[in-house]
Chain A
Amino acid sequence: MSQQHHGSGPEGEMPVAAELDLPAAVRAAANGQLDGQTILGWAEYDLDESNRYAQRFAVLTEARLVLLYDGRFTILPVADIGQTKIIEDVGLDRLVVYVQDEPAAELRYTRRCRRDVTRLHRKLQRLIARRDPQAEAPPAWLEAVERRAEQLDRCPKCGQMIPSYAEGVCPQCLQKRRILWRLLDVARPYRRTIWLALALTLLQSSLSTVPPIFQRKMVNTAIDVATAVGGIPQRTARLLFWAAAIFLAVIVLEAVGAVRIRRLAMLGTWVARDLRHQVYAHLHDLSLRYFGKRRTGSLITRVTNDTDRLWDFIVFGSVSMIRDLLMIVVTAGVMFWMNWRLALVALVPLPPLALVTYLRSMKMQYLFGRLWTYWARMTAVVGDALPGVRVVKAFGSERREVERFDRRSDDYTLKEQDVNRVWTGLQPVISATMRLGGLLVWTVGGYLLIRHPSDANSFGTLVAFSSFLHLFYQPIMELASSNRMITRAASSAQRVFEVLDTPPEIYSRSNAITKPSLEGRVEFRQVSFSYEGAQPALREVSLVVEPGQMIGLCGPSGAGKSTFVNLICRFYDVTDGQILIDGVDVRDYDVQWLRRQIGVVLQEPYLFHGTIAENIRYGNPEATTAQIIAAARAANAHDFIVGFADGYDTIVGERGQSLSGGERQRISIARAILHNPRILILDEATSSVDTETERQIQEALDRLVTGRTTFAIAHRLSTLQAADRLVVLEKGRIVETGTHAELVGKEDGVYARLHKRQAQMSSLVAIAE
Chain B
Amino acid sequence: MPDATFELLRDDRNRLVLRRPGQEDAVDVRIRRSFPWSEPRRHLSVRAADGRELLMIDDLDALPEAQRRFIEQVLADTHFIPRILRIEDLDLRFQHQQWKVQTDRGPAVFRVQEREDIRFLSDGRFTVKDADGNLYELPRLDELDEYSRRMVERLL
When A373-B155, A491-B94 are in contact, do A51 and B132 touch as well, CB less than 8 Å?
A: no
Q: Are B108 and A53 in contact (CB under 8 A)?
A: yes
Q: Are B154 and A52 in contact (CB under 8 A)?
A: no
Closest Cβ neighbor of A380 among chain B residues: B116
**How far, in whole Å, are A102 and B93 apart by their CA atoms in the complex?**
50
Q: Give which listed residue, B13, B79, B107, B111, contacts A91 with CB less than 8 A.
A: B79
Q: Give which listed residue, A52, A111, A163, A369, contacts B105 with CB less than 8 A.
A: A52
**How far, in whole Å, are A51 and B74 apart by their CA atoms in the complex?**
12
A164 at the interface (CB under 8 A from B): yes
Residues of B within 8 A of A487 (CB): 93
Q: Are A53 and B106 in contact (CB under 8 A)?
A: yes
Q: Are B95 and A495 in contact (CB under 8 A)?
A: yes
Q: Are A89 and B79 in contact (CB under 8 A)?
A: yes
Q: Are B79 and A165 in contact (CB under 8 A)?
A: no
**How far, in whole Å, are A352 and B134 apart by their CA atoms in the complex?**
45
**How far, in whole Å, are A219 and B70 apart by their CA atoms in the complex?**
94
Q: Are B95 and A92 in contact (CB under 8 A)?
A: no
When A53-B108, A165-B132 are in contact, do A101 and B94 touch as well, CB less than 8 Å?
A: no
B78 at the interface (CB under 8 A from A): yes
Write the nearest CB–CB distance from B38 to chain A, whole angstroms: 16
Q: Are A51 and B94 in contact (CB under 8 A)?
A: no
B80 at the interface (CB under 8 A from A): yes
Q: Are B131 and A165 in contact (CB under 8 A)?
A: yes
Q: Give which listed residue, B103, B107, B132, contacts A112 with CB less than 8 A.
A: B132
Q: Give which listed residue, A90, A102, A114, A495, contacts B13 with CB less than 8 A.
A: A102
* Contact indicator per residue, chain A 199-221, by CB within 8 Å of chain B (1) or not (0): 00000000000000000000000
Closest Cβ neighbor of A174 among chain B residues: B94
**How far, in whole Å, are A91 and B14 apart by their CA atoms in the complex?**
20
Q: Are B134 and A112 in contact (CB under 8 A)?
A: yes
**How far, in whole Å, are A164 and B30 apart by their CA atoms in the complex?**
27
Q: Are B32 and A366 in contact (CB under 8 A)?
A: no
A103 at the interface (CB under 8 A from B): yes
**For chain B residues 68-103, which have a beta carbon within 8 Å of chain A?**
76-82, 92-95, 103
**How far, in whole Å, are A54 and B82 apart by their CA atoms in the complex?**
13
**How far, in whole Å, are A501 and B23 apart by their CA atoms in the complex?**
58
Q: Are A163 and B95 in contact (CB under 8 A)?
A: no
**How far, in whole Å, are A298 and B81 apart by their CA atoms in the complex?**
28
Q: Are A494 and B94 in contact (CB under 8 A)?
A: yes
Write the nearest CB–CB distance from A317 to chain B, whole angstroms: 17
**How far, in whole Å, are A284 and B110 apart by their CA atoms in the complex?**
31
B156 at the interface (CB under 8 A from A): yes
Q: Are B105 and A51 in contact (CB under 8 A)?
A: yes
Q: Give which listed residue, B14, B77, B156, contacts A51 with CB less than 8 A.
A: B77
A118 at the interface (CB under 8 A from B): no
A490 at the interface (CB under 8 A from B): yes
Q: Are A165 and B80 in contact (CB under 8 A)?
A: no
Interface residues of B toward A: which range? 35 or more
When A90-B78, A111-B134, A369-B154 are in contact, do A494 and B108 touch as well, CB less than 8 Å?
A: no
Write the nearest CB–CB distance from A763 to chain B, whole angstroms: 31
Q: Are B78 and A163 in contact (CB under 8 A)?
A: no
Q: Are B106 and A52 in contact (CB under 8 A)?
A: yes
Q: Are A490 and B93 in contact (CB under 8 A)?
A: yes
**How far, in whole Å, are A298 and B77 apart by their CA atoms in the complex?**
37
A47 at the interface (CB under 8 A from B): yes
Q: Are A110 and B79 in contact (CB under 8 A)?
A: no
Residues of B within 8 A of A633 (CB): none
Write the nearest CB–CB distance from B5 to chain A, whole angstroms: 26
Write the nearest CB–CB distance from B132 to chain A, whole angstroms: 4
**How far, in whole Å, are A111 and B107 apart by their CA atoms in the complex?**
16
**How far, in whole Å, are A517 and B81 apart by their CA atoms in the complex?**
58
A484 at the interface (CB under 8 A from B): no
Residues of B within 8 A of A154 (CB): none
**For chain A residues 129-179, which have a beta carbon within 8 Å of chain B?**
163-166, 171, 175
Q: Are A164 and B132 in contact (CB under 8 A)?
A: yes
Residues of A within 8 A of B134 (CB): 91, 110-112
Residues of B within 8 A of A91 (CB): 79-81, 134-135
Closest Cβ neighbor of B114 among chain A residues: A298
Q: Are A490 and B94 in contact (CB under 8 A)?
A: yes
Closest Cβ neighbor of A53 among chain B residues: B106
Residues of A within 8 A of B114 (CB): 298
Q: Are A51 and B95 in contact (CB under 8 A)?
A: no
Q: Are A163 and B154 in contact (CB under 8 A)?
A: no
**How far, in whole Å, are A27 and B71 apart by their CA atoms in the complex?**
40
Write the nearest CB–CB distance from B140 to chain A, whole angstroms: 17
A370 at the interface (CB under 8 A from B): yes
* Contact indicator per residue, chain A 106-139, by CB within 8 Å of chain B (1) or not (0): 0000111010000000000000000000000000
Q: Are A89 and B95 in contact (CB under 8 A)?
A: no
**How far, in whole Å, are A102 and B154 apart by their CA atoms in the complex?**
51
When A90-B32, A103-B13, A370-B156 are in contact, do A110 and B132 touch as well, CB less than 8 Å?
A: yes
Write the nearest CB–CB distance from B45 to chain A, whole angstroms: 12
Residues of B within 8 A of A103 (CB): 13-14
**For chain A residues 475-497, which have a beta carbon within 8 Å of chain B?**
487, 490-491, 494-495
**How far, in whole Å, are A369 and B114 apart by their CA atoms in the complex?**
13
Q: Are A53 and B30 in contact (CB under 8 A)?
A: no
Residues of B within 8 A of A165 (CB): 111, 113, 131-133
**How far, in whole Å, are A171 and B135 apart by their CA atoms in the complex?**
21
B115 at the interface (CB under 8 A from A): yes
Residues of B within 8 A of A490 (CB): 93-94
Residues of A within 8 A of B95 (CB): 491, 494-495
Write the nearest CB–CB distance from B12 to chain A, whole angstroms: 9
Q: Are B107 and A163 in contact (CB under 8 A)?
A: no
Closest Cβ neighbor of B105 among chain A residues: A52
Closest Cβ neighbor of A49 among chain B residues: B77
Q: Are B80 and A366 in contact (CB under 8 A)?
A: no
* Contact indicator per residue, chain A 359-400, by CB within 8 Å of chain B (1) or not (0): 000000010011001001000000000000000000000000
When A369-B154, A490-B94 are in contact, do A163 and B132 touch as well, CB less than 8 Å?
A: yes
Residues of A within 8 A of B92 (CB): 369
Q: Are A90 and B115 in contact (CB under 8 A)?
A: no
Closest Cβ neighbor of B28 among chain A residues: A87
Residues of A within 8 A of B105 (CB): 47, 51-53
Q: Output the residue of B32, B80, B93 with the most chain A CB within 10 A.
A: B80
Write the nearest CB–CB distance from B25 to chain A, whole angstroms: 18
* Contact indicator per residue, chain B 102-142, by CB within 8 Å of chain A (1) or not (0): 01011110110111000000000000000111110000000
Residues of B within 8 A of A370 (CB): 153-154, 156
Residues of B within 8 A of A111 (CB): 132-134
**How far, in whole Å, are A103 and B135 apart by their CA atoms in the complex?**
28
Write the nearest CB–CB distance from A180 to chain B, whole angstroms: 12
**How far, in whole Å, are A102 and B78 apart by their CA atoms in the complex?**
20
Closest Cβ neighbor of B95 among chain A residues: A491
Closest Cβ neighbor of A374 among chain B residues: B156
Q: Output the residue of A111, A369, A370 with the most chain B CB within 10 A.
A: A111
Write the nearest CB–CB distance from B10 to chain A, whole angstroms: 11
**How far, in whole Å, are A110 and B95 apart by their CA atoms in the complex?**
24
When A89-B80, A92-B80 are in contact, do A53 and B32 touch as well, CB less than 8 Å?
A: no
When A89-B30, A491-B95, A495-B95 are in contact, do A101 and B13 touch as well, CB less than 8 Å?
A: yes
Write the nearest CB–CB distance from A471 to chain B, whole angstroms: 33
**How far, in whole Å, are A91 and B75 apart by their CA atoms in the complex?**
11
Residues of A within 8 A of B133 (CB): 111, 165
**How far, in whole Å, are A164 and B130 apart by their CA atoms in the complex?**
12
* A-B interface, 6 closest residue pairs, ranked by CB to CB distance from nearest: A91-B80, A53-B106, A165-B131, A92-B80, A89-B78, A111-B132
Q: List 5 A-B contacts (CB under 8 A).
A: A90-B80, A91-B81, A111-B134, A165-B133, A376-B115
Q: Which A residues fall within an 8 A CB radius of B?
A: 47, 51-54, 89-92, 101-103, 110-112, 114, 163-166, 171, 175, 298, 366, 369-370, 373, 376, 487, 490-491, 494-495
Q: A51-B80, A366-B154, A491-B93 are in contact. List 10 more A-B contacts (CB 8 A).
A: A47-B80, A47-B105, A51-B77, A91-B134, A165-B132, A165-B133, A298-B114, A369-B92, A487-B93, A490-B94
